[in-house]
Amino acid sequence: MIRDNLKKEISPLLGLCIQAPRTSRASLIKGSRSQANALAQQTLIAHWQSIVKILTNDLNVLKANYVPSFLTSKVFTQIFSFINVQLFNSLLLQRECCSFSKENMSKLD
């Protein structure tokens, strides 16, 4: 239940972290590159800081309620695995990040 609640809290922010690079590319085309890049970087940092804040708050709640450290460790291991899977899947959906295609598959046959 704790893990599921953490996932629900983090998922929207993680989605924003994943979408941020795409929006920065669009803004680079329209405006000055350095200014748009700096703004996109600040936005991305803010999203990650929000995720870290949520994780820190939940860790403090677990500690305050004397949850055994091995359970806390298991919860955070599962949460970080969830984050890794979400980020990896987002990379696979971006064409410029994934160079494997059906043509590559036919060469293997």
pLDDT of res. 100: 61
The answer to whether the beta carbons of residues 51 and 9 sit under 8 Å apart is: no
pLDDT of res. 94: 75
| pLDDT tens track, the chain, 109 positions | 889 999 999 999 998 887 755 555 555 455 556 777 788 888 889 999 999 999 999 999 999 999 999 999 999 999 999 999 998 888 887 777 666 655 555 555 5
What are the structure tokens assigned to 45, written together?
């940092």
pLDDT of res. 21: 53
Q: Which residues contact 89 (CB under 8 A, 6 or more apart)?
A: none
- Provide the residue ranges of all domains of the chain, joining segments of one domain with +: 2-108
What are the structure tokens assigned to 11, written together?
């998922």
pTM over 0.85: no
pLDDT of res. 97: 67
pLDDT of res. 86: 92
pLDDT of res. 52: 96
- The rounded distance, in Å, linking the Cα atoms of 62 and 45 is 26
Q: What's the Cα-to-Cα distance from 60 to each of 6, 49, 54, 88, rounded to whole Å?
A: 13, 16, 10, 28
pLDDT of res. 39: 82
